[in-house]
Structure 1
Amino acid sequence: MRLLSLIAVLGLSACMPAQQAQVSKSYSETSAPGIGLPAMQGFAAASSMSPMRPNAEIARDFLDLEFRMESGRALPNFSRFEGPITVKLTGDVPATASAEMARLINRFRSEAGLPISFAQPGDSASITIEFQPRAQMAKVVPMAACFVVPRVQSWAEYKAERNGPKVDWTTMTKREHVSIFAPSDASPQETRDCLNEETAQAMGPLNDLYHLPDSVFNDDNFNSVLTGFDMLILRLHYAPALRNGMNEAEAAKHLPALLAQMNPRGGAGVSEIKTIAPRSWVAAVEGAFGPRGGTAARLRAADMMLSIALAQGWHDGRLAFSYYAKGRAMANTDPAQAVAALSEAGRIYRSMPGAQVHVAHVDMQLAAIALAAGQSDQAMAFADRAIPAAKRAENASLLATLMLIKAEALQNAGRVAEARGLRLDSLGWARYGFGSERQMRARMAEIANLGAQGGRG
C-alpha cells in the first residue's frame, strides 16, 4: 500500500511567516490567468543501478519483505503468480496511465525477467488496476493513496468483501487475481508512483521497511520509481528454486545461492542486519507527517521519532528520517535548530549507498529556509546540489520545487532574466509533478512568498 505522501515535496509552508508576504511581481507575471503553460515534461527511459549492499543483508530484507505485512502480521506462506502475468487498466483511467504502464512493463521484462504483458481486450487479467475518484477511495481506506487487494477483480467486489476472509493476504498460497485501486484524479507523477509500487507488490513482496534506503518498499516515499534493489527482489521472487506455499525457513535456504548468482557484486562487504522498526516509531512517523495535527503536534511526534531512534541505537536512514522530521517541524519556529537537525539528517544520508534522493529532499528544505532568510547564494547552492539527484530519481515535483526556489533566489540577487527563464522552465516539470494548474500555482505562490520574505532582509 502506498500511503498518502508523507513527505513528497511538503513542508515549505512550515517556513512561511504567520502573515503571508506580498506575492512578488515575478510570480504574478508568470502565473497570470490566460498565460499558456509549456508542454508537460517527462523522463527518459529509466536506468536502475544494482544494489550496493552485501547479499546477506539483502537476503534478510527479502525475508522481512516477503513474510511480513505492513501491519506487522506474519505471512506464513510464500505466494506468487504461476505462468504469464497479464495487466489491464479500468475505471476512469488517467490520460498518462497507459503509457506509464507500458514503460513499467518493459522494465519488469528487461530488468526482472518477468513474463508480464497487457491483457487482451475482453480477457480476464492477473492484475486489474482500477481507477476511482480519490474521495471515493478515502471513504474506504483514508490513509492510502493506492493499495492492492487479493482475490477480487473490481472496486465493487472489494467493497462487498473487504471485511471478510477473501481479501486476507495471510491465507494466500498462490496468486491468481489481484486488484490495485488508484486515484483517477491524481497528478501524472502520483499515477506513475502508484503503478510502480502497487504493481510490484501485486506480483511480489507485500511489506514496506523503513530501513531500506534504496527501495520503493519504504513508506518514507523518498524513492518513487522502482530501483535496482526492487528489481532484484522481484527477480528473486520468481526464481525457479522458490515455490508457492514455502515457509520462511524453506525460502531462506535458497537465498545465498540465488543471490550469489543474481548479484555477484554483493558477495563482499560486512552486512548489517537491521530489526524492523517498532510500531511506536511508525505511529510517531504518521503523527509527524500525516494530514492531521498542527506544528506543536508534529514537533512532539518528531521528538518521539528521534527519541525512539536513539534508544534503538539506529544509525541508518531511520535516524536520518527522525532528524529530517524534527528539522521540518521546527523550520517556522526555530530555523537555526531546524538547519542543525536537517544538516545531521543530510550527513547520515550521505553516508548511505543509494540515498542521493534523500539528500536532495534535505537540501530542498535547507534551500527553502535559506531563501526565507534572505541568503540567496546559499539557497542557490543547495538547489544546484539537489537538482541532479531529483532528475535521476525522476521526481518532477521535487525538481520543479528546487527550480522555483532557485528562481526566487536569482530574483532576489538581481538576476531577473535568469530567474524568469528558470521559472518558465520549471513549469513543464510542475505539470507532471503537481498535475492541476491550481496546485502548480499554489506551490509557485508559496515559494514566491518565501522569496518576498527573504527579499526584505
Structure 2
Amino acid sequence: MSHRTDGLRSLPLLALLALAACQAPETEPQPVPVPRPVARPQDDGPSQAELRKARAERNRAANAAASQALTQASLASTAQRDFYARAERALLDQGRLRRERVPLDAPIDEDALTRDFIAIALRDEYGAGGIQARDSGTPAPLRRWQDPVRIQMEFGAVVDVATRRAYRVEVSQFAARLAQATGHSVSLAENGGNFVVMVLSDDERRAIGPRLAQLVPGIPAQDIAVMQALDADNFCTVFAYSRGASPVYSNAVALIRAELPPLLQTSCIHEELAQGMGLANDSPDARPSIFNDDEEFALLTRHDELLLRILYDPRLRPGMSAAEAEPIVRRIAAELLAQSI
C-alpha cells in the first residue's frame, strides 16, 4: 500500500478587484410617492413533517443516483474494489495495519522523536513536477497553517447517503483530534473550506480536472494530471499549497478512492489529513508511525500526535530550515516525553 503526499506547492497570488460605485446623474430631487403597507399573509414556514419529508426525498434521490452510478461504473472500478479488499486482507494477515495508539513494542525517546520530526516535517517526499525524491526526500522549510483549517467533504455520485454521513462523522471526529494535538483550529465545514477531501471512484477521479480548478484556483495543471492518473498502488494522496513563496499553507486537497474497504478508508483519512497539516514526508525509520510506507500502523499513534504538537509549537516558525529548527525541536521533544501519556 502506498500513500502519496506532496508538500508545499505554490499558487499565484490572488488579485484584488476594485469595483467603482455606481452613481446616478445629479438631477433635481422629485417627490417619491410612499406606498401604503399591504398586509402580508401569515407564513409560518414549512412544518417539521414537511422538512423531514424533504430530507427523505433528497436522501432517496441521492441513493438512487449512487445506485445508478454504481451500475454504470466501469469494469476497472469494480475490479479495483476487489483488488483493495484483497490488499487490506493481505496486510492484516501479515500483522500490518495495526491500530494501537501506544504500542508497547515500539518505545520512543528524545533522539528518535527529533530525528523523525526532521525527516518528516523538513523534507519532501516528492519534488518539483511530482517526481519522487531519492533516499529520504528533498530538504524543505517548515510548513504549517496559520488560518483555521476548514475541511470540506466532496463525494462522487457512487457514494451513497449512509456512507457520506459516516465519512462526515469520522472526519469531524478526526479533525477534533488534530485540533487537540496541534492546538490549531481544525473543523469540518459544510462549504467554503480551505482543505477539501474528495471521495471519488476511479471513473470520477479521471474526470475531476474542472472541479479541482474550481476548488483550488491556480492549481498547477501537472497536479491535476497526477491526481487523474493516480497509480493503482496509491490509495490516496494530498496536495498542500501556499500563496507565492510563503511557507504558510492556504489550501489543500486530498483524494481518497471510493473503492477502498473500511480500514483503508480510515487509514487514508488519518494519514492524508495529518500530512496536510504540514508533515509532508514519510520515513522508513519512523516507528510507531503512519508516516512510514511499511504500513505497519494504520492509524495515528501517540508518536505522530507528538510530531503534530512539535510542528505547531510557537517556538518554531514557518520557513525554518532543519539546522535552525533541530535544537528547538529537541528541547520540545524532551519536554513532551517528560509528560505523562
TM-score by length of 1: 0.43
Change (3 A) 1:13 1:215: closer
**Cα-to-partner distance string for 1:230-285 (whole Å, 9 max, x where unaligned):** 1000111111011111111111121122112222169xxxxxxxxxxxxxxxxxxx
Residue 98 (str. 1) matches residue 168 (str. 2): yes
Counterpart residue type for residue 194 of structure 2: S
After superposition, residues 291-440 of structure 1 pair within 5 angstroms as none
- Aligned with residue 82 of structure 1, among 146, 149, 164: 146
**Cα-to-partner distance string for 1:74-112 (whole Å, 9 max, x where unaligned):** 133111100321111013254321111122122223344
Aligned to 1:60: 115
Q: Which has the higher helix share?
A: 1
Change (3 A) 1:11 1:261: closer
RMSD of aligned alpha carbons = 3.2
- Aligned with residue 222 of structure 1, among 292, 296, 302: 296
Mapped partners of 2:254, 2:89: distance in 1: 25
Q: Count matched residues.
A: 217
After superposition, residues 68-217 of structure 1 pair within 5 angstroms as 68-70=123-125, 71-72=132-133, 73-92=137-156, 94-95=163-164, 96-119=166-189, 121-123=190-192, 125-135=193-203, 136=205, 140-142=229-231, 143-151=233-241, 173-217=247-291
Quote how far apart the aligned CAs of 1:53 are: 1.5
Counterpart residue type for residue 263 of structure 1: L
Runs of 4 or more consecutive aligned structure 1 residues displaced over 4 Å after TM superposition: 3-7, 11-14
Aligned to 2:16: none
Question: % of aligned pairs identical?
Answer: 22
Give the secondary-structure state (helix, strand or coil) at the position aligned to 2:90.
coil
Give the secondary-structure state (helix, strand or coil) at the position aligned to 1:9.
helix
Aligned to 2:75: none
- Aligned with residue 257 of structure 1, among 307, 310, 331: 331
| Unpaired runs of at least 5, structure 1 | 15-45, 153-165, 267-457
Give the secondary-structure state (helix, strand or coil) at the position aligned to 1:254.
helix
**Contact 2:88–2:263 (Cα < 8 Å) also in 1:** no
Give the secondary-structure state (helix, strand or coil) at the position aligned to 1:177.
strand
**Cα-to-partner distance string for 1:199-218 (whole Å, 9 max, x where unaligned):** 00000211111222310001
Aligned to 2:90: 10
Counterpart residue type for residue 87 of structure 1: I
Counterpart residue type for residue 90 of structure 1: E
User: Which of structures 1 and 2 has the larger relative contact order (alpha carbons within 8 angstroms, sep 6+)?
Assistant: 2
**Contact 1:77–1:248 (Cα < 8 Å) also in 2:** yes
Counterpart residue type for residue 48 of structure 1: R
TM-score by length of 2: 0.56
Quote how far apart the aligned CAs of 1:114 are: 3.2
**Contact 1:8–1:222 (Cα < 8 Å) also in 2:** no
Quote how far apart the aligned CAs of 1:58 are: 1.0
Aligned to 1:341: none
Change (3 A) 1:11 1:184: closer
Mapped partners of 2:102, 2:327: distance in 1: 26
Counterpart residue type for residue 140 of structure 2: P
Change (3 A) 1:133 1:68: same
| Unpaired runs of at least 5, structure 2 | 5-82, 126-131, 207-226
Mapped partners of 1:101, 1:253: distance in 2: 34
Larger radius of gyration: 2
Mapped partners of 1:149, 1:12: distance in 2: 28
